[in-house]
Amino acid sequence: MHQDVLSSRVQSYDGIPAWLYDKFPAPAHAYPWPLNSAPPVGDWFFGYITEACSHGFQCLYDNVSGAVESMSKFWRLVAKTFGGYSNVLGYELINEPWAGNYIANPFLILPGIAGSTNLQPLYDKLAKAIRSVDKKTLIFYEPVTWGVRLNGKYVGTGFTHVPGGDSYRDRSVLSYHYYCIVLSLDPVPGNGTIPIFERVLCDDIEGPAVFESVRVDLLRLGGSAFLTEFGGCDDSPTCDEQLRWALGAADEFYQSWAYWGAVRDQKTTIDRLARVYARAIAGKPILNMYVPERRYFYLTYYIDTTINEPTEIFVPNLHFPKASYNVTVSDTLKWKVDSTNPNIVLVEPSDQLLRNGDAVIIGTVEINPKM
């Protein structure tokens, strides 16, 4: 469910139906308290600070006027309707959930408290409704946006299990977003260059903290993770700098990603987002990287000969038209182009490796442009 600032009643759009928000009791102070005036359109996110918004979220979490039951029925209907579609990746329960009524309970500002008190109980109930009609489709669950910088009971996500419990680990995806805070608060003009101090804060401190925090949570919770929002910038050098770092980090941490924004007329952004990547690895990855300036891809992994499917590497036609690339693999591997999709390179254990039956073998794959 996509939402920003919950409701049209607080000058946003309806993440939850207006009729449901209208059933909630009025907050102690009218919108936009404690702000003096409604936030301008460009600063819409300050709407979360208003008591009217925070109170509305808390009413949802507390099942006021049967809000949780209504939302459960909604998700059950969605799952029943779309669960059989092969092109449905998953169900994301709530986009960028707010902590709740932090004015009534200031401890909710701590992301771990918000997660354990408000989000996890809601997610368990929604997951139960979905799983009553759809046992297979992935469920994406998201902490508060500032809950993926650190780990721990109070400063992490606050989750102790995936929605529905540990038996659903293999169908659960921790959803998270990354927008560097300093660039959000102090945007750099699109035709400029990100100052070195801000690049250090983003690329060396905050960004790595996000990906490492998610990695640690996955070790504890199980399941997978997906960077479901990043970018959201224009077709500019500043935007390109941000994308380059985030995409490289996603490769390093083996994270799926989804860019936020419309790019159909943004050639620089499209060029940056079109990348060579391994969409399936028949073994345990060691290193995965793509250097866009050189159009160079490198993958090394422990080969698992018990896996009967090949490693699959996507090669975008945008950067390699008419298969204008060279593939180099180690002696332990062999490769071919997928006969049904010319943009896919299939990599399998070599015949010699299969005959020898070696226990622990490392394979490498390199892809370069033809010169």
Among 275, 296, 317, give the residue marking a domain's end. 275
* Residue 168 resides in a domain: yes
* Residue 1 resides in a domain: no
Question: What per-residue confidence (pLDDT) applies to 355?
Answer: 72
- For the cut 90, the answer to whether the pLDDT of residue 137 exceeds it is yes
> In this structure, are 262 and 345 located in the same domain?
no
Cis peptide bond prior to 34, omega within 30° of 0: yes
* pTM check: above 0.85: yes
- For the cut 90, the answer to whether the pLDDT of residue 236 exceeds it is no
Quickly list DSSP for 175-207: EEEE--HHHHHSPPPTTS---HHHHIIIIIIIH
Return the percentage of the chain with pLDDT > 70, whole number.
Answer: 99
> In this structure, are 151 and 121 located in the same domain?
yes
* Residue 69 resides in a domain: yes
Domain that holds residue 303: 276-371
> In this structure, are 347 and 306 located in the same domain?
yes
Nearest to 177 by CA among 207, 152, 219, 139: 207
CATH number at residue 82: 3.20.20.80
pLDDT grade, residue 331 (50/70/90)? Answer: very high
* Mean pLDDT confidence for 310-320: 97
Nearest to 344 by CA among 364, 320, 363: 320
Among 275, 306, 329, give the residue marking a domain's end. 275
Tell me how crowded residue 290 is: count the other CB atoms within 10 A of its CB.
18
Name residues whose C-beta falls within 8 Å of residue 74's C-beta, 6 or more positions apart in sequence: 1
CA–CA distance, 294 with 297 (Å, rounded to integer): 9
Question: What per-residue confidence (pLDDT) applies to 358?
Answer: 65
DSSP alpha helices (H): ranges in 259-338? 267-273
CATH number at residue 322: 2.60.40.1180
* Mean pLDDT confidence for 279-295: 96
> In this structure, are 228 and 369 located in the same domain?
no
CA–CA distance, 105 with 174 (Å, rounded to integer): 26
> In this structure, are 294 and 245 located in the same domain?
no
The mean-pLDDT minimum among 168-182, 232-246, 268-282 falls in 232-246
CA–CA distance, 78 with 80 (Å, rounded to integer): 6
Question: What per-residue confidence (pLDDT) applies to 369?
Answer: 96
Over residues 189-218, the pLDDT tens digits come to 777 788 999 999 999 999 999 999 999 999
In the numeric block, the tokens 């006021």 are attached to 64
The mean-pLDDT minimum among 28-32, 252-256, 261-265 falls in 261-265
> In this structure, are 220 and 303 located in the same domain?
no
> In this structure, are 262 and 292 located in the same domain?
no
* Residue 119 resides in a domain: yes
**Angle of the 120-131 helix axis to the 67-82 helix axis, nearest 10:** 40
> In this structure, are 233 and 368 located in the same domain?
no
- For the cut 70, the answer to whether the pLDDT of residue 357 exceeds it is no
Tell me how crowded residue 342 is: count the other CB atoms within 10 A of its CB.
12
- For the cut 80, the answer to whether the pLDDT of residue 188 exceeds it is yes
> In this structure, are 289 and 202 located in the same domain?
no
> In this structure, are 143 and 110 located in the same domain?
yes
The mean-pLDDT minimum among 1-5, 78-82, 185-189, 296-300 falls in 185-189
* Residue 289 resides in a domain: yes
CA–CA distance, 15 with 368 (Å, rounded to integer): 45
- For the cut 70, the answer to whether the pLDDT of residue 252 exceeds it is yes
Q: How many domains does the chain have?
A: 2
CA–CA distance, 180 with 199 (Å, rounded to integer): 10
Over residues 24-51, the pLDDT tens digits come to 999 999 999 999 999 998 899 999 999 9
* Residue 2 resides in a domain: no
> In this structure, are 270 and 295 located in the same domain?
no
* Mean pLDDT confidence for 59-82: 99
* Mean pLDDT confidence for 268-276: 93
Among 275, 296, 331, give the residue marking a domain's end. 275
> In this structure, are 66 and 101 located in the same domain?
yes
Return the percentage of the chain with pLDDT > 90, whole number.
Answer: 87
